[in-house]
Structure 1
Amino acid sequence: MTLIGGEAAATSDETAIEALVDAFFSAFTTGPDAAARLDDLRRIMLPGATVVRTCGLPAEVYDVESFIAPRLALLTSGEIAEFEEWPEPGRIDVFGDIAHWWGAYGKRWLAGGEVHTGAGMKTMSFVRTHAGWRISSAAWDDER
């Protein structure tokens, strides 16, 4: 981030990356457009992107398709309702054609008639392509 008068000023690259971060998180929302939002991940991620889940378990590495499929099934199954996930303010670093976002996130959902909440940290890496910035990798760990 560029500092102007002691305040952070977002660059156009940072603004584009923030939009990708928001699109990534908003994909994980129940509702009638869940499939379309998850499908948008194919546009904002490189075809060879990896996503890694840790969460105190052995690391599980997904490619784009293996990441989307179980989330689509869960968000459209009716097993959970009112699921949403959102980023908290994070840090963006840009150098040339690579960038990184590091930040906290929250989530909440309804299952079995009870409200559940969670939080954790996510990291995302980005590369600039001829079509603009794309996610090249993401990893997360939930609070325990």
Structure 2
Amino acid sequence: MNDRTDAVPAHWHADTQDAGRLVRAVYECISGPAGAARDWARFRYLQHPRALSLRTVVEADGSTRAAVFDVDSYIADVEAFFTGNDFHEVETDQRIERFGQIAHIWSKYEARPTPDSPTVLKRGANSIQLCHEQGRWWVFCTVWDNEREGLRFDLF
């Protein structure tokens, strides 16, 4: 695991010292205008080496399935979308529950073409599990679903 703080920018290390800040840092990594390079080095630094992501996929018939990714397969999956689309994920609410060295964060978000745009592309919720080891927080698992017909956005 990359736990060396002298080999990364100071703000990357600072991101890992607070669970709520860590989540906001992940949003910063994946946000940007169409075609802009995302900060995948920082994103990888925030993720546990064995981290997983799960996105709910809605099929044409309305059924759902889970698409599961490790860090590199997630990046490969979203790069084409980010190349062609303005996308800024903005956190609208956060709830943190912590017990010892683990934390669970519910993070509501809105995706917008720019951070301050009145246009909402989509809304949803991330369920993020963190672990604290080697003096820092790591994202261990991120599971998310987007608001849609029949799925209310009033989680908390």
Bin of the TM-score, shorter chain as denominator length: 0.7 to 0.9
1:103 paired with 2:110, answer no
The question of whether the paired residues in 1 share the 8 Å contact of 2:34 and 2:85 is answered with no
* Alignment gaps of 5+ in structure 1: 1-14
Once the two structures are superposed, the pairs formed by residues 118-133 of structure 1 within 5 Å of their partners are 118-133=122-137
1:80 to 85, 94, 97: 85
What TM-score does the superposition give when structure 1 sets the normalisation length? Answer: 0.76
Letter of the structure 2 residue corresponding to residue 24 of structure 1: V
Moved over 6 A (4+): none
Once the two structures are superposed, the pairs formed by residues 7-86 of structure 1 within 5 Å of their partners are 16-31=18-33, 34-56=36-58, 57-75=64-82, 77=83, 79-81=84-86, 83-86=87-90
For the structure 1 residues 140 and 32, does the alpha-carbon distance in structure 2 shift closer, same or farther, using more than 3 Å as the test?
closer
* Alignment gaps of 5+ in structure 2: 1-16, 59-63, 149-156
Q: Give deviations 1:1-60, integer Å, cap 9, x for gaps.
A: xxxxxxxxxxxxxx7011110011112222499535232111011111110001433100
Q: Secondary structure at the match of 2:65?
A: coil
Identity of aligned residues (%): 29
What TM-score does the superposition give when structure 2 sets the normalisation length? Answer: 0.70
The question of whether the paired residues in 2 share the 8 Å contact of 1:55 and 1:140 is answered with no
CA–CA distance in structure 2, aligned partners of residues 131 and 68 of structure 1:
26
Letter of the structure 1 residue corresponding to residue 96 of structure 2: I
CA-CA distance at 1:90 after TM superposition = 1.2
CA–CA distance in structure 2, aligned partners of residues 98 and 116 of structure 1:
32
Structure 1 partner of 2:145: 141
CA–CA distance in structure 2, aligned partners of residues 17 and 116 of structure 1:
26
Letter of the structure 2 residue corresponding to residue 60 of structure 1: A
- In angstroms, what is the RMSD of aligned CA positions? 2.4
